[in-house]
Amino acid sequence: MSFRLSLSNWVDRKPGQTLEFMADLDPDALAETLVAFANSDGGTVVLGVDPSGQVQGEITAEDAEDVLRLALGQGRPIVRTEWQQSQVEGGTVVVIYVPRSSELHSLADGRVLIRSGAQNRPLGGDQIVHLAATRAGGDFELEPVDKATLDDLDRDLIAEYRANRAERQRRPVVGDDVSMLINAGALTEDKTPTVMGVLLFGRAPQDFLPQSKLIFVRFAGTEMRGPGGLPGYSRREEIVGPLPRLIEDAWQVMWEEMRVAAVVKGLVREEKAEYPPFAVREALVNAVCHRDYRLSGRRIEIRMFDDRMEVISPGGLPGYITVDNIVEEHFSRNPRLVNGLFQWGFIEELGLGIDRMIEDMINAGHPAPEFRDTPYSFTVTLRSNRVRRPVMTWESSMNERQLQAISFVQEWGRITNRDYRMLCPDVSAETLRLDLADLVERGFLIKIGAKKGTYYILKNAPGT
């Protein structure tokens, strides 16, 4: 394992999808986190730091070795780790790195855990089967590309990546370019470019992976065909290049095709795009990051109509992710590719983009994004508010309180538990919680966030 641990990777951050702080040397809690990280996107555990990021004192190498040995003994199979002891302001800590594993790991008691935000969550039977099937496919992004050499990589792109990564880390990247690329997963130990390396840094990635191109089509109207069955598109672009350039070029085309209106606020004139820019970019970046690059005959497709935009990514949802849990859960099919684009700045924070995509669409007056999953594709549909959809017809079984909640969401875009209590001050908090849970279960609302940050928005239910 060639990973270099760096305290700058976690300082000033909070526990989340790939980071955990542990103030106590608890082998059981550590075992759960090691297994959860290995089954998900990997992560870093910092021993001797509380959840707020405060160093608790001194941790000796002997104590760390003992607790790590006990924790690793609970994994089936044993989780690979790398660790180091570091002196920081306030004491000594131990940083443990867990890479994403190609195997499925469980605890000695049979539980299979994954990382869900800042929590370790056990999986049920069907979810375990789906995760095991994903693992069986191996890490395609790390496979060497036949006939590719170092000369097929773009030195300018590599330099750009190094600079962006150093800026994110707030420190220079250690080592020469070759060691940096091996560390990132872009080269094998014998310096052969991997799938991830060709996609991110290749001079002409489509020469080796023709499925990595992107097709953009702008249709005239709301259908894919024009009069008499003729092609109904007004523009078609085939976009190629390394993924950073492909994202930038695709975004430029999408921006050019979006209607932009002038909005005057006070004395200031602002331009308002047809769709929220973040939502569009998130749909695009997610398609590039998470598509299944093993599917050689399929490309990412972006279809823009007068009333909607569809972003179609080859390959269904990975692992245990479903349309129902996509807001709360996070799992990457290509974690090293995702990390590369994160270092480049295309991704702000793992696991938070879908939440903001939904929020931005709602706040801009659009319906929430629609997600459709099939075995061979995943589609995100963003609908324009220029063409209004039919009003939702509510079930007759909805109680009066729930109707009030729905009306509130229709007017304000969202509702929190506090909002609902203010609407129904004479009803118990538990009853109101059950009301909202029922609306989520029946497909009328989507729950976003957790604990005090939880809120609910409308979901496109059957009959809309």
Q: Tell me the chain's radius of gyration from C-alpha atoms.
A: 24
Give the pLDDT of residue 269. Answer: 58
Does one domain contain both 363 and 238?
Answer: yes
> What percentage of the chain exceeds 90 in pLDDT?
43
Number of domains in the chain: 4
Give the pLDDT of residue 228. Answer: 57
Give the domain-ending residue among 124, 152, 167.
Answer: 124
Give the domain-ending residue among 208, 236, 254.
Answer: 208
What is the end-to-end Cα distance of the chain in Å, rounded?
51
Does one domain contain both 308 and 353?
Answer: yes
Does one domain contain both 72 and 221?
Answer: no
Does one domain contain both 411 and 379?
Answer: no
Q: Rounded to 10 degrees, what is the CA torsion of 59, 60, 62, 64?
A: 30
Q: At what angle do helices 277-290 and 353-363 cross, to 10 degrees?
A: 150
Give the pLDDT of residue 267. Answer: 56
Q: Answer yes or no: is 134 within a domain.
A: no
Range of weakest confidence among 27-36, 273-282, 310-319, 396-405? 396-405
Give the pLDDT of residue 262. Answer: 53
Of the ranges 22-26, 53-57, 239-243, 427-431, the best mean pLDDT one:
239-243
Give the domain-ending residue among 189, 208, 227.
Answer: 208
Q: Answer yes or no: is 379 within a domain.
A: yes
The pLDDT-based confidence of 249 (bands split at 50, 70, 90) is very high
What does the block give as tokens for 53? 């990021």
CATH code for the domain in which residue 310 is found: 3.30.565.60
CATH code for the domain in which residue 68 is found: 3.30.950.30
170 half-sphere exposure, CB direction, 13 A CA radius: 6
Q: Answer yes or no: is 1 within a domain.
A: no
Give me the domain span that covers residue 150.
Answer: 142-208
Give the pLDDT of residue 159. Answer: 96
Q: Answer yes or no: is 340 within a domain.
A: no
Residue 391 predicted with pLDDT over 50: no
- 102 or 216, higher pLDDT: 216
Q: Answer yes or no: is 295 within a domain.
A: yes
**Cβ atoms of residues 82 and 97 within 8 Å:** yes
Q: Rounded to 10 degrees, what is the CA torsion of 361, 407, 440, 381?
A: -30
Does one domain contain both 253 and 362?
Answer: yes
Does one domain contain both 65 and 161?
Answer: no
Q: Answer yes or no: is 253 within a domain.
A: yes
Give the pLDDT of residue 154. Answer: 97
Q: Answer yes or no: is 287 within a domain.
A: yes
Does one domain contain both 94 and 204?
Answer: no
Does one domain contain both 41 and 147?
Answer: no
Q: What angle do CA 394, 398, 404 make, to 5 degrees?
A: 85
Q: Rounded to 10 degrees, what is the CA torsion of 197, 199, 205, 208?
A: 70
Does one domain contain both 360 and 445?
Answer: no
Does one domain contain both 94 and 23?
Answer: yes
The pLDDT-based confidence of 388 (bands split at 50, 70, 90) is very low
Residues 129-149 pLDDT 10s: 878 877 755 689 999 999 999
Give the pLDDT of residue 318. Answer: 83
**Average confidence (pLDDT) over 381-389:** 70
Residue 261 predicted with pLDDT over 80: no
Provide the 10 A C-beta neighbour count for residue 461.
15
Residue 48 predicted with pLDDT over 80: yes
Q: Answer yes or no: is 464 within a domain.
A: no
The pLDDT-based confidence of 459 (bands split at 50, 70, 90) is confident
Pairing between β-strand 82-88 and β-strand 91-98 as defined by DSSP bridges: antiparallel
SS3 annotation, 310-374: EEEEECCCCCCCCCCCCCCCCCCCCHHHHHHHHHHCCCCCCCCHHHHHHHHHHHCCCCCCEEEEE
CA distance 282 to 293: 19
Residues 392-439 pLDDT 10s: 444 456 787 888 888 788 777 889 888 898 888 888 888 888 889 888
Residues 216-232 pLDDT 10s: 999 988 888 755 556 67
Does one domain contain both 356 and 373?
Answer: yes
pLDDT averaged over the chain? 85
Does one domain contain both 110 and 238?
Answer: no
Q: Where are the beta strands (DSSP E) in 232-299?
A: 233-239, 260-265, 268-273
